[in-house]
Every structure is written in structure tokens, then in C-alpha cells.
Structure 1
Amino acid sequence: MTRFEELQPEQHVFEADVSRLLHMMVHSVYSDKDVFLRELISNAADACEKLRYESISKPQLSSDAAQPGILVSLNEESQTLVIEDNGIGMNRDEMIDALGTIARSGTKAFMERLEASKAGEKAELIGQFGVGFYSSFMVADRVDVISRRAGDDEAWKWSSDGKGSYDIVAVDLGAAPARGTRVVLHLMDDAKKYASKWTVEKIIRDQSGHVPVPIRLVEKEGAEPSQVSDGAALWLKQKSEISKQDYDDFYRSVSGQYDEPLANVHFRAEGRHEYTTLAFIPGSQPFDLFDPDRQGRMKLYVKRVFITDEAELLPRYLRFVRGIVDTPDLPLNISREMIQESPVLAAIKKGVTSRILSALEKMAEGEAETFSKVWDLFGPILKEGIYDDFERRSQLLKLARFRSTVSDGATRSLADYLAGMREGQSAIYYISGSSLDQLRSSPQLEGFRAKGIEVLLLTDGVDSFWPTNAPDFEGKPFKSVTQGLADLNAVTGEGGADEGDRQASPEVTAFIDFARSALGEEIGDVRVSDRLTESAVCLVASEHGPDRQLEKLLQGAGRLQTASKPILEINAHNERVKAIASIYDLAFREDAAWLLLDEARILDGDKPANPRAFADRQARLFALAIGHGK
């Protein structure tokens, strides 16, 4: 008996998140389980790329001169499927870390979405996002992983049935790969088709045909392997040699998503710096798109050697773009610290960003329907660039699309807005809030609507911030309709009252003076409104400082300790206001002034500052009305 046979396996319990994920996969029904093979082959290819990278500084790791490769072996009799690579491999601690825990950013959010989804939607989620190694348990009731790290003189075996725990034990080197990892799937009865050559070969060609490592297939024990994929770098081929299917397959392998890309940007740059880029605009939102810690997913290669997927190859507002950049202008042994400081990489980032934005501009001009899909998916992210990227702000503003008071549910560009501006209009007007319905019913819009002035309706979180950093578009400043004076007098419009008709009667003027005194420190001012045509009141912010929505957001985030006092605007021609102004009972007028302020707060999406006082005032008015009725 060898010392390996005498060793007892160590038993470990899965991390909580892994157990949850495995339970969901094992006990849920998925219409497309093929994704597991793509995930395992992707892992194997990554392991080969990591070995190639580490061998730059440690040539002894691959001194046998064996070419990187992936071998898929089938056995229909024993119902097993084996995926083996000769990559970097894993030692004991790396096995525990890689196969017993989940460290991938966004996994928690993915599982929450998976748990919350309906049964029929789960297949779509699993296919769209992938679940890495653990997807094996969709088709296997037991998985064995045998691995030997390059350069080590020990090999280890990891085994689990996916029910909450796993074993690890040392194995004889003769039972392990010379280096790399062998994953053995003991297939369930309803997954026997994955031991069939025709099924597996088709999945590999469809989903993993363009991984940068050759893939061979052994259809049965003792048979000679046949090559399924040559591992050629797709990005180095001429575009004329690449079909749409080739591009789509490569996108899926490099992105980990299962949708179809809306567009690709494939080019070779020559000159001061040389590099090749193949980037994709996804056809759906990555599940962690709005994760504040999420970074880009572009992979950096140097002379076809994978270096890292953590280099900042694009600005954060293009973090939804997937793909690769390959350059010969960086050293193969470049460190992460050098990557962050590299002027070459900074120049590449600038060039790739410009090409992607140019491709989006071209799409907006010539493929409006496709660009509309891109904007619906990633518009909120692109607008972050308007706030962050001064150099490309004008370009991003031209790309931006907005819903407005005249767009009837569609989106319009700022060029469309300028073309429809009224005579005398000097600004681009907007209003921001949490929903289109809320914004469309805002009283602040009434005067603009009466004049036929278009107002942009902004509902994304970033919409409260970027207008403060974008001073103008083609000379026209951005102005919130909830801030300062409306300045509608100079605009020639379709309707609305003229200057004489807007003058307040002496009674209303007197009531406004009274309200200003009664409300005291609660407000900044009370004034006649030239923006209201129907509602009695509204709140606006002062001319200087943040508008109403931005102020609320800053306060909610704890970045604004003291809010500025709002201005209460009163519609001097509203029948209710005129009726109130005609009653000279001081107690009544004071209650009316406070109730009008609370009404404006409610219309603004807030609640009365003092609900009890609001109810008492309302009760007194009801009692007065009932008394008059008698």
C-alpha cells in the first residue's frame, strides 16, 4: 500500500454562498445546460494562458516545451466527461480557494436575481451570465478535480457531490496530469448525451471555437484525439475572413455571456503605438453593471500572451464593453503596478475609447434602431462620461438621447431639441426625478407646456449630476425648470398669458406678503409664479446652488448637511388662490398659507414637514366649511 492510499481525505464544508448556488442549480430546471461545457473550457484556457504568462519569469515551469492544449475525453459506457488542460494547475490551498469559495464580484447579486426569478426565467439568467465551475453540477452528480501545479512535486484530488461538502486528498503523481488540471464529470442519467461525440463537438464549435488554446476531442477510450479548434487568435485575422457567427462565438467565450452582441469594433492601430482591438457592445446588460465596485471586462494581451483582465483599457463609463486588446509594445513581464503607470497603455486607452465612441456615433447616424437598443441598455452608464470626461463631453452629449415633454415616449437627441427651440428661448430646459409619470405631472412644467417649450425628462440617477458639469451644448446652457425664475416672458410661444394678464390682483399680492411673513424661516421667499398655469403652488430652488432633485440626493447621501430654503411660487390666477386671498380672517389665512406650502411639498414628491399640524389645519378648514354649509 502506498502512502497515498493510506491518507484519509480531508472533508470541508462549502462556503455559504457556494452552497446556495449549488442548491439552486441542482434543484432548479434549466432549459439549456450546455453552458457548463463553455465554462469549463474557458477555465482551462485561462489556466493555459496563466502558465504562459508565469513562464516568462520562470521558464522552468514549461521546460517540457509542450504546447498549451485542452483535451476533452468521452466515455459513454461509464457516463463520464473529462476536460483536461496542461496549464498552471492548482495546489491544495488554491483548490480550496478556487473551488470552495466564491470571490467573484457580483456573485451575490447574481444569486439574488436567480432566487427572485420565476422558474421560466432562470434558464435565461443562467445562460446569460454563466456560473463558472459550479455549473458542472447541473449535469453531474459527482465531480472530481485532479490537479498538479506547474513546478510542484505534489498532486491533489478534489471531490464533491454538490450537496454541501467536498473532500481533498493527495494523489500519486502517476494518477495526475504532468501539470495542469483534469476535471472528471460523472454524468447524471438525464445528461448522458454529454458523453456523445456529436453533442460535445457541436457545443465546443458553437461556444468555444475561438478560445486561444487548441482543443482536441477523444470520442472513446483508446481512440486517437481529433482537433476541434486550432486555438488561432481570431483578432489577428482579417475581417474579411471572419463570419458573424465567428464573431458571436468569440464574444460569448470572452464575455461569459450568452446573448448576441449588438455590434463589434475590430481594428488594428499602427504608428506610434501598435495594437489590435476586438471589442463588443453586448446585447443585454451584464448583471453587475451597476455594482459600484465593478471594473471593465477588457482583456490585455501582449504578443498573444494573456496578461490581465484588470487593466483600465477603457474609462468606467464604457465598462459594459467586452473584448481584448493585444499589443507588442509592452514587455511580457509587465507588473500590475507598471500597467497602471504605463504611458503606452494610457495612449492605447485613449485610442480604443475614441474608436468605440466613433463607432457609436456612426451607429447613431446610420443604424438608429440598433443605437436605440444600445442607449436603452447602457445610456445611464454613458451619461456618467458627460459628468466625468471633460475631453469627450461634447461627443457624449451628441450621442445622448432623452425623453421629453414632446417626444411621445420615444427619445430625442440634443440636436433635435435645438431644432425645435422657440424664438427667444435661450436655454435647454430639463427636469429630473425618479419616474416619467411623476415628472410629467410636475406643476413646474405648466408654463413651459403652455408656451410649447420642450423640457427634457431625466429619470436616471446620474441625471441630477451631469447637467452641473456640462455648462452648455452648442452655446445653449442647461437649466432646471425647478430652479430660479422661469424667464418665460422673452419666449414666443403657442399660448400662455402675456405680461399684463400675469399681474397679481391687490388681494393676492396682499396674501402673498402675508404668507411670506407667516411662513417665516420655513421658506426662502414667496412670489408670484410665471411658470404655473393650472396648479395653485409649486416649490423651486434658488437661482444659485443645486436644483430641487440634486439637493434631495445630496442630502440623502449625507453630502449636504443643510438644505437651502425653497421658494414657494403661487399662481396668482388660480381660482382657489383668489378665493383664499379674499378672506381676511387671520387664523384662516395662516392655516391656508401653511396648507399651500404642504401642498407644494406633496406635489414635489415629499410629505408635509409636520403631519400632525397639517392634519389639524385641514380639520379646522373642514369644520369652517361645514359651518358655512349649515
Structure 2
Amino acid sequence: MTTPTIERHSFQTETKELLDLMIHAIYSNKDIFLRELISNASDAIDKLKFEALTNPDLPKVDEPCILLIPNPQTQTLTIEDNGIGMSREDVVNLIGTIAKSGTREFMGALKERKQQHGEVSPELIGQFGVGFYSTFMVADQVTLETRKAGEEHGTRWQSAGDGTYTIEPVERASHGTSITLHLKQEDSEDGLHDYTSEWSIKSIVKKYSDFVNYPIQMDVTHTDYDRDEAGKVVEGSAKTSVKRETLNSMKAIWIRPENEVSEDEYKEFYKHISHDWHEPMSWFRMKMEGTFEARALLYIPEKAPQDLYYREGKRGVQLYVKRVFIMDDCKELMPDYLRFIKGVVDSEDLSLNISREILQQNRQIRAIRNRLVKKVLGTLENMATANSAQYLQFWGEFGRVLKEGLYEDRENQEALLGLLQLSSTHSPTELTTLKDYVSRMKPGQDKIYFASGEDRKTIENSPHLEAFRDKGYEVLLLTDPVDEVWTQSVYKFGEFDLQSVGKGTVELGTEEEKKQAEQALEEKGKTYGDLLGAMKGQLSEYVKEVRLSSRLTESPSCLVGNPSDLSPQMEQLLKSMNQPVPESKRILEINPNHPLNQKLQALFAANQQEPALADYSYLLYGQALLAEGSPLPEPAKFSKLMTDLLVKAI
């Protein structure tokens, strides 16, 4: 019998560099080597199934299997499959060398990431078809034995990652591939675990490969004991047995026909991926076809997670490629304002372990994201129509987050506006949509009015609402901090402008009523004109203008801004975030029909040099600030003036 010829070869220069990077622990998460090998094994079975469809000479895979064989005594781990296998030429081309054009780019990406972040994201590995080499992160020596389906002889490839490898023919009983890793010593500081441990293997498979189509199996040792009548273990009765177990669930329920998946299975899967002990509020599936293929199973939680507003909280859905887990917080698939959505997106076309850097530039990812967003918003719209009670429950948990999309996502702004549920003066308890608000608008009304503040009571007591209340105009009451942001960037709903009651001028009523009000204000202006100019001079440090008001019916004064000005609440929000706030002054409006201002006008008419005018002007300004809930610039000054005024009055 002829002794098989063992050939020794040197790796290409680029391959040596890559192996060096692998061996010197450039990756912090070394567990992913097993994901790579399982994924390769799954692909090999897929290929054999496909080839067997057109080549009747190839064997059929009746019982596809990926077998894991740990051996603590020899410190080895073998991964074996009954897939298509490889010929000697395949081994040389695919394993022995890295003849890919992207190798240099891959190594460049590795080095750049290492320099910038101190470690390399595990998602990079395999990006350029070099996933097999991840084995050298955990093994001192790797032995691969394979036989291609339809061929008689097999091939053995072996390397210690030292720049050389050997290749030789080998007898192998069946087609497929087995890869034996001679494992390095366990080192927790270096991220090396005991990969012969049943617990370690099970946890890695559960995390990364639970939904691979084929059974991932391992022989597991069980110990049973005899027990006495009291149920206690009988000493010395231990009996060990070995049973082959399937480690993965293979329950990729997003692939199975919808009518074959029970409600309980959907709920169980949600808890598995979300670690939420509540049941989901709702879920839906979608299949994307065309230039790319992908499936999604997405959930709307019942309760908001505690980290919903934490910057460090997890964001995004899980990404799978051909049912192989890639990452559990793929931010690129879901915008931040939908960060509460949980679920899985499984692509058939993306390359395995696509990096975050490439995700950000990938057209398919952007296309998938757009489809997902429209599906989520459409689902919420259907919920609001078909089950208003459930939607109001959703809004109570996630409404504030959804509002962020109004300024983050211009493309879907119209859909998001339709989903809003807002408080208004129409009802003390019930929320309203913008569509319902419009349906209740008065004849001739061409604006949607809103007021913002810390809470509903403060807004309702604001002098800005007096004319609206007097004439029966509905006003939206916005109390969430995010309302200050989105109302700065949303200007219309349908054909109607949105206007703050605290900005610009107010013109209410029919055209005839507006004309009459304008004429009345002009007449009052003839009387108050000089007083307004004098007050502006006294308050020039605080306001940019003093004018008569058409919005006040009860209060003597209020402060308003121009349409482009920041609201006081927005200024406070920016200050609380240590953001620079531009210097701005507002407009003081005074009510010409209020007795206080009428007496002030009479006092000024009698003596335009009246010394008390400055004090009264400041008191009116301070009163306007307090009425809207804003702080006084000089509280001590206001308090002293008020005390002096009370003393004189008494």
C-alpha cells in the first residue's frame, strides 16, 4: 500500500498577516468562531440539497446534521457536517489561501478599527470570506478533513497557524466536512473559555445559531441516581449515560407559515428575544421581495422598558442573515424614535457578519429600514382605527418617543402627525387627533392653535388663552418637553398652519369680526400710543416692544414672541441640557380694556414724567412672567415694589 503524500505549503503573504492578527487576539469576542463554523456547515448542507436537485448522482440529505464533538481529555472540539464537502482543489482555493480581492481591504479595516477603538467589532469577521480563520483565535492547531459528495477520496488540511499548512489525501467514509480544533488553554482575561464545556457550547449555540435550519447536535452526559422511599439519593447509585441532544430550537418562526404558528409561540418568542416578562401588545410579520429578500417579525411591547430614555439603552431589532444571528441591536434597521420595537429581521442577501460601518452605507439596509418603518406606522394607524382603547394604551407608553419622529423623520412626518393623541381644551380628560380637531374648527378658522407649558393646569390659567376661551376656539395643550422641539419644525397639518397662542398676533372670528377688532385696536392705539413708547423705554432691558393686545380679555398683560422665537419652555429645556441659548427679548402686550391699564394711561396723560411709571411698567412685566409660569429676572426688586404698592394702597 502506498503511503499518502503529505505536501507542505506556505501561506500567501497576506494570509500570514491575517493569521497574525487573528492569533494575537484582535477580537475581544472569540466565541464567534463557533458561529462561523456552524454557518459554514449549514451552507454546505444547503449546497448539497441544491446540487442534488439537478444532479441525480449526488446523495440526498435525508437527515442533515451538524455534530459538535467536545473532548476534554484531548482538549479538542470537532465540528462535523454531512453537507456537500470539498475536493482537494476546493480546499486549496478556499482554505489554503486567501485569494480574495478584498483581503487587503479587510486587513486595513481590522487595523484601522484596532487603532481607533482598541479592539475590533466581532461583526467585521467573515465580512471578506475569511471566517474560517477565526478558529486560530481559540486553537493552536486546526485539522480539516473533507470529502466532496460524488467523489471517492477525501482531503486532510492541517495548520498550526505558523505560516504553513499541510495537505494530503485521506480515506473518509462519507461526504461532508469535519474540523477539529486543538484548543488553547482557558484564559478568561483574554476571552478564551473552555470550549469543551457542555455549558459553554450550549450557550454559544443558543445565542448565535438557535434558528439555523438544521439540527446542531452534541452527545451530552447525564447522571441519574437511585432514591430511597423518602426520596433521598442512594449513595453510590450514580449511573451515567450519554444521549445525543439537539441544541438549537430551529424554530425560525418568521419563516414558518403564519397559520402554523400559535399565539403562544409568538408570545414565547417575544419573551426570548426581549427578556420582557410582559406579553407583547401586538406583533406582525412581513416579507420583502424584489431586488432583495428579507423577512421580519416585529413586536410592539405592552410596557415601556426602563431604559427607553437612556442613551446607553439597547436600540434596534435583531439582525439575522439566513437565520444566523449577527447582532441584537441593529440601530441601522430602525430609527431611534421607534427604538421600542422588538423583533427579528432576517436577510437572504446580506453577507454574513456585515460590519456596522458597512451597514450604514448599505443600500439594502436602507431599503429594508424604509419598508419596516412604513409597516410599523401602518400597523399603528390600523390599531388606532380598529382598536382605539389599545392604541391609547400604546400612546400612554410610547407616545412621547413617537413624537421624536416628527423632527427626525421628515419623510414620514405626515403619517406621524396622523398618529398624534393630544390634550386640548375640548375635553378635560379625552385626547384628540389633529383630524378630529380640524373637524371641530370654527367657520373661517385657518389655523390649528396650541399652547405649551409644564402641565395642563398652568396652561389653562395662562392669559394667552383668554381670547380663545372667550370666543370658543379649541386649543391643543402640549405638556411634554419633546413638544417644544417638534413644534419648532412642523408648520402645517394638511392645509392648516400650526400656531402657538403665545407667538405672533391673534385674529379670531369671522372676517367681519376680525376687521372690527382691528379697527377697535387702532382706535385704542391713538390713546395709548405715547404710553406704549414710554413703557418700552422703561423696559428696554427686558422687552423689544410694548403693544396693545387682542388676545387678553381678563389679565392686564402678557408676554409673546415672534413666530420664529424660541418659547420660554424651549429656552429652559436647552439650559437644562447645558446648551447655549441665544439672547432674545419678547413683546409685552397690555390689555387696553383692563382697569389697571386705563388708570395707568390716565396717570401718564396727567404727567408724562410720572416717576412711578417705571415701577408700574416693571410690575406689569413681572406679572406677565408669573402668569405664564416663568421665573422673574429680579425677584427681590419685584417683591419690594409690590410691598411698597400694597403699603400705599392700604
Which range, TM-score by smaller chain?
0.5 to 0.7
1:601 corresponds in structure 2 to 625
- Change in CA separation of 1:297 and 1:499 when aligned onto 2, cut-off 3 Å: closer
Counterpart CA distance in 2 for 1:254 and 1:474 is: 39
Q: Is the 8 A contact 1:488 1:530 kept in 2?
A: no
Task: Write out per-residue CA displacement over residues 4-30 of structure 1, whole angstroms, 9 at most, x where no aligned residue.
Answer: xxxxxxxxxxxxxxxxxxxxxxxxxxx
Equivalent of 1:534 in 550, 554, 557: 554
- Change in CA separation of 1:279 and 1:533 when aligned onto 2, cut-off 3 Å: same
Asked if 1:435 is matched to 2:470, the reply is no
1:398 corresponds to which letter in structure 2? Answer: G
1:53 corresponds in structure 2 to 35
1:460 corresponds to which letter in structure 2? Answer: D
Shift of 1:509: 5.1
Task: Write out per-residue CA displacement over residues 265-299 of structure 1, whole angstroms, 9 at most, x where no aligned residue.
Answer: 21222222211100000000111111234452301
Equivalent of 1:517 in 537, 561, 571: 537
- Change in CA separation of 1:537 and 1:308 when aligned onto 2, cut-off 3 Å: same
Shift of 1:264: 0.4
Q: Is the 8 A contact 1:269 1:276 kept in 2?
A: yes
Counterpart CA distance in 2 for 1:387 and 1:59 is: 46
1:590 corresponds to which letter in structure 2? Answer: A
Can you give the 5+ residue segments of structure 1 that lack an aligned partner in the other structure? 1-46, 71-84, 88-148, 159-167, 184-203, 205-209
Equivalent of 2:434 in 408, 414, 429: 414
Asked if 1:317 is matched to 2:320, the reply is no
Counterpart CA distance in 2 for 1:316 and 1:170 is: 35
Q: How big is the alpha-carbon RMSD for the aligned residues of Structure 1 and Structure 2?
A: 4.0
Counterpart CA distance in 2 for 1:171 and 1:49 is: 8
Which range moved further: 498-507 or 616-625?
498-507
Q: Is the 8 A contact 1:422 1:491 kept in 2?
A: no
1:303 corresponds in structure 2 to 322
Asked if 1:154 is matched to 2:154, the reply is no
2:625 corresponds to which letter in structure 1? Answer: R
Bigger CA radius of gyration: 2
- Change in CA separation of 1:333 and 1:214 when aligned onto 2, cut-off 3 Å: closer
Q: Is the 8 A contact 2:557 2:589 kept in 1?
A: yes
Counterpart CA distance in 1 for 2:192 and 2:571 is: 61
- Change in CA separation of 1:490 and 1:519 when aligned onto 2, cut-off 3 Å: farther
Counterpart CA distance in 2 for 1:237 and 1:219 is: 36
Shift of 1:366: 1.1
Can you give the 5+ residue segments of structure 2 that lack an aligned partner in the other structure? 1-28, 45-64, 71-76, 80-179, 226-239
1:154 corresponds to which letter in structure 2? Answer: Q
Task: Write out per-residue CA displacement over residues 299-331 of structure 1, whole angstroms, 9 at most, x where no aligned residue.
Answer: 111111001123211111111100000111112
Counterpart CA distance in 1 for 2:191 and 2:464 is: 70
Task: Write out per-residue CA displacement over residues 92-150 of structure 1, whole angstroms, 9 at most, x where no aligned residue.
Answer: xxxxxxxxxxxxxxxxxxxxxxxxxxxxxxxxxxxxxxxxxxxxxxxxxxxxxxxxx97
1:588 corresponds in structure 2 to 612
**Structure 1 residue matching 2:430: 3-state secondary structure:** coil
Which range moved further: 483-492 or 236-245?
483-492
2:303 corresponds to which letter in structure 1? Answer: S
Counterpart CA distance in 2 for 1:450 and 1:442 is: 13
Which range moved further: 537-546 or 580-589?
580-589
Map 1:203-282 to 2 at 5 A.
Answer: 220=224, 222=240, 230-282=249-301
Counterpart CA distance in 1 for 2:184 and 2:200 is: 10
Map 1:439-518 to 2 at 5 A.
Answer: 439-488=459-508, 490=510, 498=517, 504=524, 510-518=530-538
Asked if 1:402 is matched to 2:422, the reply is yes
Counterpart CA distance in 2 for 1:263 and 1:602 is: 45
Shift of 1:501: 6.0
- Change in CA separation of 1:622 and 1:284 when aligned onto 2, cut-off 3 Å: same
Shift of 1:566: 0.8
Task: Write out per-residue CA displacement over residues 555-593 of structure 1, whole angstroms, 9 at most, x where no aligned residue.
Answer: 554544432211011111123333343335723332111
**Structure 1 residue matching 2:429: 3-state secondary structure:** coil
1:334 corresponds to which letter in structure 2? Answer: I
Q: Is the 8 A contact 2:459 2:628 kept in 1?
A: no
Map 1:138-153 to 2 at 5 A.
Answer: 152-153=183-184
2:367 corresponds in structure 1 to 347
Counterpart CA distance in 2 for 1:395 and 1:172 is: 52
Counterpart CA distance in 1 for 2:477 and 2:222 is: 59
Counterpart CA distance in 2 for 1:235 and 1:354 is: 19
Q: Is the 8 A contact 1:541 1:566 kept in 2?
A: yes
Map 1:352-431 to 2 at 5 A.
Answer: 352-431=372-451
1:364 corresponds to which letter in structure 2? Answer: A
1:189 corresponds in structure 2 to none
- Change in CA separation of 1:335 and 1:520 when aligned onto 2, cut-off 3 Å: closer
Counterpart CA distance in 2 for 1:171 and 1:542 is: 64
- Give the number of aligned pairs: 466
Counterpart CA distance in 2 for 1:341 and 1:450 is: 55
Q: Is the 8 A contact 1:300 1:324 kept in 2?
A: yes
**Structure 2 residue matching 1:251: 3-state secondary structure:** helix
Asked if 1:330 is matched to 2:350, the reply is yes
Shift of 1:55: 2.5
1:116 corresponds in structure 2 to none
- Change in CA separation of 1:236 and 1:578 when aligned onto 2, cut-off 3 Å: same
Equivalent of 2:643 in 616, 619, 622: 619
Q: Is the 8 A contact 2:41 2:66 kept in 1?
A: no
Counterpart CA distance in 2 for 1:527 and 1:48 is: 71
Counterpart CA distance in 2 for 1:412 and 1:286 is: 26
1:610 corresponds in structure 2 to 634
Shift of 1:435: 1.7
Shift of 1:516: 2.0
TM-score (norm 2): 0.64
User: Percent identity of the aligned residues?
Assistant: 31
2:134 corresponds in structure 1 to none
Which range moved further: 260-269 or 557-566?
557-566
**Structure 1 residue matching 2:524: 3-state secondary structure:** coil
Q: Is the 8 A contact 1:49 1:305 kept in 2?
A: no
2:311 corresponds in structure 1 to 292
1:587 corresponds to which letter in structure 2? Answer: P
- Change in CA separation of 1:256 and 1:437 when aligned onto 2, cut-off 3 Å: same
- Change in CA separation of 1:555 and 1:426 when aligned onto 2, cut-off 3 Å: farther
Counterpart CA distance in 2 for 1:170 and 1:430 is: 59
**Structure 2 residue matching 1:268: 3-state secondary structure:** strand
Task: Write out per-residue CA displacement over residues 319-372 of structure 1, whole angstroms, 9 at most, x where no aligned residue.
Answer: 110000011111224333322222111111111111111111111111111111
Counterpart CA distance in 1 for 2:454 and 2:198 is: 57
- Change in CA separation of 1:387 and 1:304 when aligned onto 2, cut-off 3 Å: same
Shift of 1:442: 1.4
Q: Is the 8 A contact 1:214 1:230 kept in 2?
A: no
Shift of 1:497: 9.2
